[in-house]
Amino acid sequence: MDEVSRSVNRVVLGAASEGTGHLGVARRRRLAIRRDPSRGTPVAQGRRWAAAGRESEETAKEDDMTSQQVVAIDTSYDADSAWFASGRALLYARLQGQFNIVPFGQTAAERRRILRYLSRTEDAGQTIRAIVVSSHGKPSRVIDDDSPDKTLLSAESPEGELALWARGRVLYFCCCEAGIGPLFDKLLDAGARTVVGFTGKPTAATTDGKFLWREFDQELVSCALHGQRASGFERAREQYMDRLERRMAGLPEGPIRQDFIAMFDVLAAMVIRDGHEV
């Protein structure tokens, strides 16, 4: 092969190795970046250090999620409450390893045991970021059949107990009507970071309604796991109210539509509030 042919081959092979089209352009850009002498300048080093810092921050956030506990309380035995509890169990299994979730189920959620755990955890210098509860409720009262007076928490609880629950935490209560009355105000006054709950009844008669309620509960639990403030819970509520409106638009009159109408009204009347220090 003469010198001219070899030169032509080198040109052709070079073009092929660089590539054409979008892939070729991207490859040439990466090569240009590697060959850029400015990458050794203080500005370029600063950019790399900043990127490394961002990676460290993300790692720190992940470590924070696993080091701070989330106490998950599911107290009731009946079918409706068990439906929520089973949905939460699926969520916790899916997020295993990403969060430090401490579960208390049914008899383990007795009031004195919960208070003892909160106190000991605090004495040990550990942080509880959030407490999520699914149970029966009445106005300003969270019910637990195994607790004294069948009450896990209420507006009449001693100030010390309310403060032990609050402690700068996100509190989410999936309990009928617990948001009516002064309980949530008292928890916020005691130092809760964010309090979320219902003034209505999160229940449904149809399978479609039950599934949607369970999905919504999982979404709110996820907000609590991530330590979100009221704005995060508000976004979740608005998304589900939009979904309900779209679903109802194409539904004839019947039990499913009635479940969706009732759910929409309960969501509209929810309590979602931040504490005094935002």
What pLDDT digit, counting tens, does each position of 155-185 carry? 999 999 999 999 999 999 999 999 999 999 9
φ/ψ bin of 140: left (φ > 0), alpha (ψ from -120 to 50), beta (otherwise):
left
Query: What mean pLDDT comes out for the span 88-100?
Result: 85
One DSSP character per residue, 130-171 reads: EEEEE--EETTEEE-TTSGGGEEEETTS-HHHHHHHHTT-EE
- Tokens 């092979």 -> residue: 13
Q: What is the pLDDT of residue 8?
A: 39
Question: What is the separation, in whole angstroms, between the first and last Cα of the chain?
Answer: 78
Q: Is the pLDDT of residue 231 over 80?
A: yes
* Top-confidence residue, 57 or 207: 207
Position 85 confidence tier, pLDDT thresholds 50, 70, 90? confident
* Dist. CA 108–CA 113, nearest whole Å: 7
**Structure tokens given for 173:** 């209560």
| Cα-to-chain-centroid distance, residue 74 | 17
pTM of the model: 0.75
Architecture of domain 58-274: 3-Layer(aba) Sandwich (3.40)
Give tens-digit pLDDT for 208-219: 999 999 999 999
Nearest to 133 by CA among 158, 160, 157, 151: 151
Domain ranges of the chain: 58-274
Give tens-digit pLDDT for 118-156: 999 989 999 999 999 998 999 999 998 888 888 999 999
